[in-house]
């Protein structure tokens, strides 16, 4: 069983409790308390929160899954960056500011709006960071901030037939889908590096950029880069990895909580250097060997009487 669904609309895919049945019927996401926003390419509801792969374990495949426990990841980061006794509010709730209390204004989806980063040119746009946590004083004046990227994993191929089989109650059906691990190094880390360099120039971004991801994603990154990454304390230009997994086994009628399995801080420059470093190159001569191997195979498969 190469790939299976671990969570469907927040519950086990074979959970027949009233809560699970109702979530599947109404396409309800229990983590953001609204309809599931994840769709397949044909715009039909997806509902798959977490996949399970034998070699990697549980792999969260929807970013909304990481917002469970009342956006706990944001509270965890605010505590790490700004210390104890903080409150999180949306930008439309500034009337809730209280003298003598540290308040963090949250900018991001469901809380207000995402903040655009500038592009490489005056006309371009650099995309968005998922979340900005802004520490303000009791008059609403900005004191400092951190930026947060939330990353789940996507797949190669499609698991729609498997999802449809569980929705129909017919159980597991093999599919050819897999986890798109290459995307970590092809897209995710380059985007983090680019955004991290922009944030390094922000004098009030004192604790740098935070990157929240499922535990298997962090393990994959460290398997490739850990030999070239030094640990730093949080500072401007730092990149802090926080990785999360699900709590113990699924119970009928209940959704699993999140558990933070660790935190590691390096710098954006260190990650950029490690990602492009010569230590990650394959052995010399790999192209030559691939060509020679293919030529030998072609000679064996093609009779000499046909011109070779």
Q: Specify the pTM.
A: 0.86
CA–CA distance, 276 with 190 (Å, rounded to integer): 10
- The single-letter DSSP state of residue 62 is -
Q: Are 123 and 12 in contact (CB under 8 A)?
A: no
CA–CA distance, 279 with 85 (Å, rounded to integer): 44
CA–CA distance, 4 with 2 (Å, rounded to integer): 7
The two three-digit tokens of residue 78, written as one number: 């605010």
Element of type H or E holding 25: helix 18-26
CA–CA distance, 111 with 78 (Å, rounded to integer): 15
Angle at 63 between CA 61 and CA 64, to 5 degrees: 115
pLDDT of the chain along its 308 residues, tens only? 589 999 999 999 999 999 999 999 999 999 999 999 999 989 999 999 999 998 899 999 999 999 999 999 999 999 999 988 889 998 888 888 888 778 999 999 888 777 765 555 554 455 678 999 999 998 889 999 999 999 999 999 899 999 999 999 988 888 989 999 999 999 999 999 999 999 999 999 999 999 999 999 999 999 989 888 999 999 999 999 999 999 878 889 999 999 999 999 999 999 999 988 755 567 888 888 888 998 898 888 776 555 55
Task: Quote the pLDDT of residue 180.
Answer: 93
CA dihedral sign, ordered 210, 215, 219, 220? negative
Domain ranges of the chain: 1-62+153-180, 63-151+181-308
CA–CA distance, 8 with 27 (Å, rounded to integer): 9
């Amino acid at each position: 069983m190469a790939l299976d669904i671990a969570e469907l609309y927040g519950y086990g895919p074979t959970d027949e409790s009233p809560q699970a049945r109702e979530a599947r019927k109404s396409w309800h996401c229990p983590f953001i308390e609204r309809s599931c926003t994840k769709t397949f390419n044909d715009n039909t509801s997806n509902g798959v929160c977490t996949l399970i792969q034998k070699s990697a374990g549980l792999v969260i495949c929807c970013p909304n899954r990481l917002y469970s426990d009342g956006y706990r990841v944001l509270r965890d980061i605010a505590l790490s960056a700004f210390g104890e006794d903080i409150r999180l509010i949306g930008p439309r709730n500034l009337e809730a500011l209280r003298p003598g209390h540290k308040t963090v204004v949250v900018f991001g989806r469901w809380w207000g709006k995402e903040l655009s980063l500038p592009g490489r040119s005056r006309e371009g746009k650099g995309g968005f960071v998922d979340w900005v946590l802004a520490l303000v004083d009791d008059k609403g004046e900005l004191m400092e901030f951190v930026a947060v990227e939330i990353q789940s994993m996507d797949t190669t191929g499609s698991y729609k037939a498997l999802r449809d089989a569980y929705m129909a109650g017919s159980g597991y059906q093999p599919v050819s889908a897999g986890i798109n691990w290459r995307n970590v190094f092809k897209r995710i880390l380059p985007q983090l590096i680019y955004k991290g360099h922009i944030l390094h120039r922000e004098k009030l971004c004192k604790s740098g950029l935070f990157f929240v991801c499922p535990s298997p994603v962090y393990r994959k990154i460290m398997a490739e880069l850990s030999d070239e990454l030094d640990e730093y304390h949080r500072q401007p230009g730092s990149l802090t990895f926080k990785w999360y997994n699900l709590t113990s086994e699924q119970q009928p009628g209940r959704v699993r909580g999140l558990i933070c399995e660790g935190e590691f801080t390096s710098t954006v420059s260190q990650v950029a250097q490690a990602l492009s470093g010569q230590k990650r190159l394959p052995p010399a001569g790999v192209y030559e060997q691939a060509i020679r191997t293919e030529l030998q195979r072609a000679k064996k498969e093609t009779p000499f009487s046909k011109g070779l």
